[in-house]
Homo-oligomer: A and B are copies of this chain.
Amino acid sequence: MEKEERRLASMERIKTKPCAAIVGAGRTKFGEHWYESPERLLMIAGEAALESVDHGLRRSDIEACYFGSFLYQVTNKLGLVPGYMARELGVNIPMTNTEAACASGSSALFNACMGIMSGKYDVVLVGGFEKMSDRFSKIVDNLMFAGDAHEFDAGFTFSGLYATMMARYIHDYGRGNRRCLEALAQVACKNHHHALGNDYAQFRREITVEDVFKSPLIADPIRLLHCSPVSDGAVALVVVNQEVARKYTDTPIYILASQQATDDVSLFTRESLTGIRATKLAVSKALEQASMSPKDIQIAEVHDCFTIEEVLFLEDAGLFNRGDGWRGVYESFESFKGSKHIPYIGDFGEIIVNPGGGLKADGHPVGATGLRQVWECFVQLRGEAGGHQVSSDKPLNVALCHNIGGTGGIATVHILARDL
């Protein structure tokens, strides 16, 4: 077959069929886990994911594993995750460990989808983990491995890189406007509010805009409460070929799109400090793959490592025009303050972002985060989120997960749906 024909056939298949389906999901609480090893955290999540499969799944049904983690070598003196997990799971199957900084977890899922789509596997286990509190941890230094080596040598901390982006955003779009600063604090307040009912979340307490303004300065203009925390935790998913999904559960969640894009690791070579090209590309490819527009997305798990990043997402995804994201945040927050979930409202309709608390409040064990986002959407779409379940007039059907690595050197986007 000619390349073009094959490509069209393949596009057709990709467009009309989901990449894969999720039939189980498990996680640990996020927070400090001083007495668990990284591989043990991953096993706790993995066992929870296997046990969550409604009609049962044996370990021997798993044909391959895909893991993601970021700093396990420097922070935990650990390498060769496949060898650890072969031992812990008692299996000898193929295993891949991916590192993509804060997008390590979603990068594992991206490759797991490829494994399913290749026809080689029907059932795979996907896991992400990070144990940041450890005897070897020098976390501020180590997190700069998500930045560029020149930036590291120049003295930047990782917070400093996002502070540069936030400062430029305020300079370009909100100078002299206190509401812009308030909006950049409200993102954190909203996500803390959303986490109140989330049993797994690291922080389950309200914070106010004033709390954010009064919190210690980390890297001007970023203050402590603009930042996601240092966390330990793990998440695992059971991902299967969609054609066998109903063997395992009556309510599989389908992965309609799995897309990834990359960009320069370094801020100083980017065309813009106030937009993430990799996000733009990955979101638009994912919407195309799912044949959807932003209007179709009901909930989104968005990478709010620092609050500025959630605002950039709103603009990168086309929900608000460039520079208007903070206005959207401000108006939505003022309108819906006090309701269980605080949606963003705009021309696109309504979207609830980070219904479980996001990186900010649920926690950010780096390599687990991309899969924690998928876990959140999985339980939300199945109506199993308990205390943080989104209640909606029309049934929840479509969710988007957005995970980025570093300051945007990579972005992975997955679109999930309950019904095809």
Do the beta carbons of A96 and B107 come within 8 Å of each other? yes
Q: Is the CB of B98 within 8 A of A98?
A: yes
Encode contact with B along A49-92: 1 for CB under 8 Å, 0 otherwise: 00000000000000000000011011011111111111100011
Name the interface residues of A370-416: CB closer than 8 Å to any CB of B. 405-406, 409-410
Contact present for B269 and A87 (CB under 8 Å): yes
12 additional A-B residue pairs with CB within 8 Å, beyond A77-B149, A83-B410, A114-B118: A71-B73, A78-B145, A79-B101, A79-B145, A80-B101, A80-B405, A83-B262, A83-B264, A83-B405, A86-B278, A87-B266, A96-B111
In whole Å, how far is A91's beta carbon from the nearest beta carbon of chain B? Answer: 7
Query: What interface size band does chain A fall in?
Result: 35 or more
The contact sample of 25 A-B pairs, CB cut-off 8 A, is A3-B241, A3-B244, A6-B243, A71-B79, A73-B145, A80-B406, A80-B410, A82-B100, A82-B410, A83-B264, A84-B409, A85-B262, A86-B264, A86-B265, A87-B269, A92-B277, A94-B259, A94-B260, A95-B262, A96-B107, A96-B110, A97-B100, A98-B99, A115-B118, A118-B118
Chain B residues contacting A37 (CB-CB under 8 Å) are: 149
A265→B95 CA distance, assembly (Å): 13
Please give the distance in Å from A377's CB to the nearest CB on chain B: 21
A305: CB under 8 A from chain B?
Answer: no
Residues of B within 8 Å of A98, CB to CB, are 96-99
